[in-house]
Amino acid sequence: MKILVTGASGFVGGPVCRALQARGHRVVAASRRDLPGLEVARVGDLGPDTDWSRALAGSEAVVHLAARAHVMQESESDPLALFRRINRDGTLRLAEQARAAGVKRFLFVSSIKVNGEATPADRPFRADDPPAPADPYGIAKAEAERGLREMDGLPVTIVRPPLVHGPGAKGNLATLLRVLSTGLPLPLGGLDNRRSLVGIDNLADALGFLLDRQADGTFLIRDGKDVSTSELLRLLGRGLSRPARLLPAPTGLFRLCGRSGTIARLTGSLVVDDSPLRALGWIPPLSLEDGLIRMTAAWRNAR
């Protein structure tokens, strides 16, 4: 099957392209630059006016990864408008042209932020929960999902990953690795929160699995083991060969701060129910521990 992959040069895109090739598919990468080992279709910026006709020619499926990512320190005066232009309108423009080109399957990688920002430790997000996005990124992704579902004549699969870990991960995971490598103590010990994560290799494998199964619907995904932030730090420290030095978490101070921003992500829970995906027969090829070892090894080598 000929598959067009957008965002092929990104953190998720490279492993996804390799996983699809390993399954015997012909992968065409939508990119502005050459990518070793991949057939490339030149496409400009993602938006409501993008011309996808050449890239889509002969494609039987689309895996849409390209997006404006969640921005930790936003500089735009109207970030929602920009997220909508790229992540909503750009997605729907691609889907409309894919339908016109006769594409048989559109796989959209969305985000767990469509569900919301946090859960109780014992009540995971489910794919059929009412959307409750809390930031511009999540809002635009939710609106893109709704537009795709309303589009007749194009079979759609939607996947909402939680935090993705793996070689090259950035954001909070990269920050934690840098801090752990210094040996400095962290006031994050004894936390009883639960977090679902998914390794990049597991996510790539699941996307290929869903394409091969031609599975309709929306799916949440996880490695299979949820961990507290304290447990995650210990696993990362083990991979770095530098045991995490964790002090008791000052929960009273966290409450005083309102547990906003990064603090909320470190101390709160976000768990997902991946049972519909497992019911199809998908089993993650890597454990959480093995995936984190790969990430820490790559980080150490890069240093």
Q: Provide the residue-wise pLDDT of the chain in tens; the chain has 303 residues.
A: 999 999 999 999 999 999 999 999 999 999 888 888 899 998 988 999 999 999 999 999 999 999 998 665 666 778 899 999 999 999 999 999 999 999 999 999 999 999 999 999 889 999 999 999 999 999 999 999 999 999 999 999 999 999 999 999 988 899 999 999 999 998 989 899 999 999 999 999 999 999 999 999 999 999 999 999 999 999 999 999 989 999 987 765 555 555 456 677 788 999 999 999 999 999 999 999 999 999 999 999 887
Buried b (16+ CB within 10 A) or exposed e, 6-35: bbbbbbbbbbbbbbbeeeebebbbbbeeee
CATH classification number, 2-167+198-224+271-285, choose in 3.40.1160.10, 3.30.1960.10, 3.30.1330.30, 3.40.50.720? 3.40.50.720
Predicted TM-score (pTM) of this structure: 0.93
Residue positions annotated with a catalytic role: 137
Q: What is the pLDDT of residue 74?
A: 62
| pLDDT for the residue 253 | 56
pLDDT of 170 reads 87
pLDDT at 35 (0 to 100): 87
Question: Which pLDDT value is given to residue 233?
Answer: 96
Break the chain into its structural domains and give their ranges. 2-167+198-224+271-285
Query: Which residues lie across from 61 on neighbouring strands?
Result: 3, 105
pLDDT at position 255: 54
Position 263 scores a pLDDT of 73
pLDDT, position 181: 93
